[in-house]
Amino acid sequence: MNSLLLAANTAGYTTPQAWRVLTKTGYFLGLSGAIGATVTYATTVRPALRATGRTTGSSDRSSDGATALRSRTASYVAWAGVVLLVAGYCQLAARVARAGKGTPFGEALAPSRIWDFLQAPAAKGAWIAQGTVYLVQSIVLVVTAAAMISLFAPTARRHTDRIALAALPLSLAVTLIAAVPATTPDGLDRWLDLALDQTHIVSGTVWLGGLALLAALATGRGRLADGDGLLWAELWRRFSLVALVCVGAVLISGLWLSWKHVGALSQLWTTGYGLALLVKIALVLGLVAAGAFNQFWLMPRIAQARRADDAASLRHLTLRHFPKVVLVEIALGAAVLLAMPFLAGSARTEAGSAKAVSSGSIFIAGALLALTLAGSLYATAKASEALARRTAAAPAAS
């Protein structure tokens, strides 16, 4: 923080106010809860339950874990809806405070102030009023939150699949609608900025929100049967693949956005924006390192226990070791969200360097970098599978 304040004094960086930090961090927490929970349910929880043959109608004791998992998932999604609703309102009030010159955040929370902001006419040259964009976003946000909150009701929980799958595109629409520009973008760079910014947000929220959901579900071990380690092995395996895709999307979009805002390596420690970005990069690298540990150490051992039909080891790995690493990832992810409000302005502007302008060579370099990163992530997945086979074969050979 002292470094940020120093940069603010020397490079024209303005440290965001506390309400700005809290509202923006809260907003992305809300998005992470909504998008992460619904996407993870659709791509991980629901398929894992089906793949392991767990049905709520089964009389087998092994179905207890599946029933508890579905119930806890429904509760988590419902609470995520509450967080999204509160965070969305506070973020809207923050927009009012930022738009109104000198409007205190406390006054911006008033519904009348918010309504006036949403009804403001379009600016000259705009094809739509900015307030109208936020009004549509707010309506979609309320509908999304209401659908998720309905899962508090026992009758709604009978339709968890339908509600969660319906809330998934709605939660994505919350962030996508807010990105709709009030004026037509004036070039390819601007379109790429919008697309990659949303790619960054969606992939990041899926990654962090999915980790939070699975960590919350993994804490409920009271009704686990012997075979539930198999279910959790499948859950972690499926989410590891989802997380791998998200990591790739976060890194590729992050590199583009960093290039747009940082004109030289030295700007990372000589500007306020650069220092905030440097902190965020360090935290993201910590997340990636934790994910690599999961891929190269935990997943092979889980695969070994699965092949050996070692229920005790499988439960220990999937419900003790793996969640501990995930909790570290969640802490790092929360720190990333806390750092995001400090990414205000641009290091290029602070340093007085030229605005980033793309060219054919930039696009070619970016495409090659994206292909290289995709190849490395694919190799990571294959290497993890190879380690799993080698780990499983070692005891047999001995």
Which tens digits make up the pLDDT trace of 16-34?
999 999 999 999 999 999 9
Terminal alpha carbon distance of the chain: 55
The pTM of the full predicted model, rounded to 2 decimals, is 0.88
Domains contained in the chain, number: 1
Helix H or strand E segment including 51: helix 46-51
Distance CA 238, CA 331 (A): 22
What is the model's pLDDT at position 300?
83
Q: What is the mean pLDDT of residues 309-320?
A: 78
DSSP 8-state code for residue 221? -
Per-residue pLDDT tens over the stretch 328-368? 999 999 999 999 999 988 999 888 888 887 777 777 877 88
Q: What percent of the chain has pLDDT over 70?
A: 87
Q: Which two tokens stand for residue 33?
A: 């809860």
When the pLDDT of each residue in the chain is averaged and rounded to a whole number, the result is 85
Distance CA 53, CA 236 (A): 16
Per-residue pLDDT tens over the stretch 148-191? 999 999 999 999 999 999 999 999 999 999 999 988 888 788 88
What is the model's pLDDT at position 333?
93
pLDDT of residue 120 exceeding 50, the answer is yes
Q: Rg (Cα) of the chain, in Å, rounded?
A: 23
Per-residue pLDDT tens over the stretch 375-391? 877 777 777 666 656 65
Note every long-range contact of 56-60, with CB atoms under 8 Å and residues 24 or more positions apart, other chains counting: none
What is the model's pLDDT at position 57?
45
Is 32 within 8 Å of 205 (Cβ atoms)? Answer: yes
Q: Which of 120, 121, 91 is nearest to 108 (CA)?
A: 91
CA distances from 53 to 165, 260, 309 (A): 20, 48, 16
Q: Which of 318, 164, 304 is nearest to 240 (CA)?
A: 318
Which pLDDT band, with edges at 50, 70 and 90, does 56 fall under? very low
Q: Which two tokens stand for residue 123?
A: 């600016």
Distance CA 32, CA 6 (A): 32
Owner of token pair 């499926």: 238
* 3-class secondary-structure state, position 120: coil
What is the model's pLDDT at position 204?
95
Interior angle at CA 257, CA 251 and CA 263, nearest 5? 120
What is the model's pLDDT at position 3?
47
Q: Does 103 or 41 have the greater pLDDT score?
A: 41
Range of the domain at 75: 2-397
Distance CA 182, CA 130 (A): 6
What is the model's pLDDT at position 54?
57
DSSP 8-state code for residue 104? -
The lowest-confidence range among 59-63, 114-118, 313-317 is 59-63
Angle between helices 188-218 and 322-339 (to 10 degrees): 140
Q: Which of 1, 11, 16 is nearest to 347 (CA)?
A: 11
What is the model's pLDDT at position 396?
46
Q: Which of 222, 210, 209 is nearest to 68 (CA)?
A: 222
Q: Does 98 or 56 have the greater pLDDT score?
A: 98
Per-residue pLDDT tens over the stretch 259-269? 899 988 899 99
- The residue length of the chain stands at 398
pLDDT of residue 5 exceeding 50, the answer is no
Per-residue pLDDT tens over the stretch 186-243? 878 888 889 999 999 999 999 999 999 999 988 765 555 556 778 888 898 899 999 9
What is the model's pLDDT at position 387?
64
Q: Which two tokens stand for residue 154?
A: 């026992």
